[in-house]
Amino acid sequence: MEQDEKYMKEAIKQAKKAWKIGEVPIGCVIVYQDKIIARGYNRRKIDKNTLSHAELNAIRKASKVLGDWRLEECTMYITLEPCQMCAGAIVQARIPKVVIACMNPKAGCAGSILNLLQVPQFNHQVEATYGVLEEECSKMLKDFFKELRQKAKEEKCKHSES
């Protein structure tokens, strides 16, 4: 558990990098033999690429480090429940275990809308732990969207003044 929190904190650091550049703060790290081998954060806007989710960015790096598309002995830590694309990639990469901070009721595919991590018909299922540093991560997202709405409001005011 302590271990999980330690690595989730690292994922939160990644999420904050996303926030700094105006992206929805979602972060991810991949751990292999008790070491972080890859980090990723959401860069969808800046990369202008729907594939640039935190999880996919981290998977790409981890595969480079290990020299293998299979990430069979890795654990992924993510600040938010993965979407259908990333949950699919996690299964494809044969990642055995993910640790998720908070759920995403509107888009999550690790239990909210679907649970792609544990479809018995697929050849690989992923063990999932939920709720590690959940409050911290959901507050981070709420604060981000609050700030976004605030900024949008200020923009509107500026426009109506000029």
Binding letters toward Zn ion, positions 36-55, x by CB under 5 A: -----------------x--
β-bridge pairing 74-80 and 97-102: parallel
For Zn ion (CB under 5 A), the number of binding residues is 4
By the 10 Å C-beta count (0-12 exposed, 13-18 middle, 19+ buried), 60 is classed as middle
Q: Would you say 66 or 85 has its CB closer to Zn ion?
A: 85
Q: 99 near 126, Cβ under 8 Å?
A: no
- Binding of Zn ion at residue 86 (CB under 5 A)? yes
**Whole-number Cα distances in Å, 119 to 66, 103, 127:** 27, 18, 11
- Binding of Zn ion at residue 132 (CB under 5 A)? no
Select which of 2, 5, 10, 55 is catalytic.
55
Distance CA 119, CA 91 (A): 10
Q: Would you say 43 or 132 has its CB closer to Zn ion?
A: 43
Select from 86-94, 96-104, 115-123, 140-148 the region that touches Zn ion (CB under 5 A): 86-94
Active-site residue, 73 included = no
Positions 66 through 85 that interact with Zn ion (CB under 5 A): 83, 85
User: CA nearest 110: which of 140, 130, 93, 124?
Assistant: 130
Annotated catalytic residues are 55
Q: Which residues bind Zn ion (CB under 5 A)?
A: 53, 83, 85-86
